[in-house]
Amino acid sequence: MTEHGGIPEFQIDALQEVSNIGLGNAVTALAELLNKKVDISVPKAYFIELERVFSLVGGLEEAVACVNLILEGDISGTVMFIFTDKSAFKLVDMLTGQETGTTVELDAMGASAVQEIGNILTGSFINAIGGMTGLVMQTTVPMYAFDMMGAILSASIVASGHYDDKVLVIETLFFQENDHIKGHFFLLPETGALNKLFEAIGIPAEC
Amino acid sequence: MQLSPGKAMEDRAAACNEIHVGIAELKIARQPDRLITLGLGSCVGVALHDPATMIGGLLHIMLPESSQFNNVNKPAKFADLGIPLLVSEIRRSGGKINNLRAKIAGGAQMFSGLNEKFVLNIGERNICVTRKTLKSLGIRIVAEEVGGRRGRTMILDTVTGQVHIRTVGVRLKVI
């Protein structure tokens, strides 16, 4: 059996499946908000070196908008949404009903619009998982940054208490085809938190 | 062919290698090469330079102290272990500790809307332990570009000892 840092393959599969359901719900919420069809790629769970998390997104110096929320309750961890600068501008245009290309920087309004999107996506994600598993989860107030991808991602990984050389990451790409919007979703669960999830979905924590 | 004012600088940039230092890594270079580390957020970049031998070293630390961790297999991740290691690597390459000058950058607070559960001031603690460790080794900090809210890229020129700081939407700064 392939191991992912002590997490057996079938549990990785289960994580991906649970995330798929949660994120399916999240993009439905986003699609309603934007009144456009939004797609997601199949979520992938990785147990990888910290440095490789960055290469999942792109260049370290690339300007991105990031919303960071902390999950509390039965499953604790960190949720991050990362949009490239151009995608973030387009999202704000779509949300505020402006023509694409109107927004060229994120002022306080734009920033709070992006933050709200992160909030809604996370909310529907955890509601779906909560509904399925009966687990209780809450999120904290979203935190926001617009800067170099490397700077943001490293700061949030360190601040969320993931000090190990390898981290468990659940990643999805979501996109709006016509408007070329691309975003990354990351879930960094705390290690102990996963056993509760596996128990709740009827998978033995160890086998 | 027209010569632009920046031509001499460009020529030199083309003649030297730019060596990348990743997160929780350290590297040494000699003139005319440059060392670069991208996207310092709450992390701190430590550039040490010996002007006499034109040997330089760059370190990208993530955390202040290693003492709270049992399993430390990447010393360059921590200020307290990474800086002494950087110094000993420079000495091994022929640099002199008495000549070393330090320039540091990073340690920003990247997120707004912080809540108390978030580990606060990790950037500040990184800066603080970096200063303390350099001081204990007798190395003078000649310039710094720390704190604030912006991510930074740091480039050390081993010929001049200059450090270039790049930020999103701001002009290149030399310290």
Domains of chain B with CATH codes: 20-174 (3.30.1330.200)
Q: Taking residues B145-174, report their average pLDDT.
A: 92
**Confidence check: pLDDT of A120 > 50:** yes
Using CB atoms, which residue from B23, B73, B110 is nearest to A152?
A: B110
The residues of B whose Cβ lies within 8 A of any Cβ of A are: 22-24, 38-43, 62-63, 69, 73-74, 108, 110-115, 117-119, 122-123, 150-153, 166-169
Cβ contact, residue pair B74, A160, below 8 Å: no
Using CB atoms, which residue from B39, B73, B115 is nearest to A151?
A: B39
Please state, for a pLDDT cut of 70, what percent of chain B lies above it. 87
Chain A, nearest residue to B113 by Cα: A143
Select from A52, A57, A61 the residue whose CB has the most chain B CBs within 10 Å, as the one to mutate to test that interface: A61
Q: Taking residues A126-136, report their average pLDDT.
A: 84
Q: Phi/psi at A43 (nearest 5 deg)?
A: -60, 140
**Confidence check: pLDDT of A121 > 90:** no
CA distance A36 to chain B (A): 29
pLDDT in tens, B39-83: 999 999 999 999 999 999 999 999 999 887 777 778 999 999 999
A176-to-A33, A105, A145, A180, B159 alpha-carbon distances in Å: 13, 20, 22, 6, 48
CB A165 within 8 A of CB B74: yes
Cβ contact, residue pair A115, B41, below 8 Å: no
Cβ contact, residue pair A150, B110, below 8 Å: no
Using CB atoms, which residue from A50, A60, A155 is nearest to B38?
A: A60
Q: Which two tokens stand for residue A16?
A: 């991906």
DSSP for B20-72, please give it. Answer: E--TT-EEEEETT-EEEEEEESSSEEEEEEETTTTEEEEEEE-BS-STT-S--
Using CB atoms, which residue from A61, A147, A161 is nearest to B38?
A: A61
Q: Taking residues B117-132, report their average pLDDT.
A: 83
Rounded Cα distance between B76 and B72, Å, is 10
Strand partners, A73: A137
**Confidence check: pLDDT of A1 > 70:** no
Q: Which two tokens stand for residue A42?
A: 């199949």
User: Is B43 an active-site residue?
Assistant: yes
pLDDT in tens, A62-113: 899 998 888 888 888 888 888 888 888 988 888 888 888 888 888 888 888 8
pLDDT given at position B5 = 46
Catalytic residue among B26, B43, B129, B163: B43
Q: Taking residues A124-135, report their average pLDDT.
A: 84
Task: Count the Cβ atoms, other than its own, within 10 Å of residue A66.
Answer: 29
A3-200 CATH pick, 3.40.50.300, 3.30.565.60, 3.40.1550.10, 3.40.50.880 = 3.40.1550.10
Rounded Cα distance between A26 and A38, Å, is 10
Please state, for a pLDDT cut of 90, what percent of chain B lies above it. 71
pLDDT grade for B157, boundaries at 50, 70 and 90? very high
Rounded Cα distance between B26 and B47, Å, is 10
Which of A14-28, A31-45, B1-15, B132-146 has the weakest average pLDDT? B1-15
Cβ-Cβ contacts under 8 Å, A161 against chain B: 119
Q: Taking residues A5-20, report their average pLDDT.
A: 78
Select from A48, A55, A60 the residue whose CB has the most chain B CBs within 10 Å, as the one to mutate to test that interface: A60
Which of A173-182, B75-84, B143-152 has the weakest average pLDDT? A173-182
CA A159 to chain centre: 16
Q: Considering only CA atoms, which of A41, A69, A195, A42 is closest in space to residue A133?
A: A195
> Rounded to the nearest 10 degrees, what angle do helices A108-133 and A85-96 cross at?
90
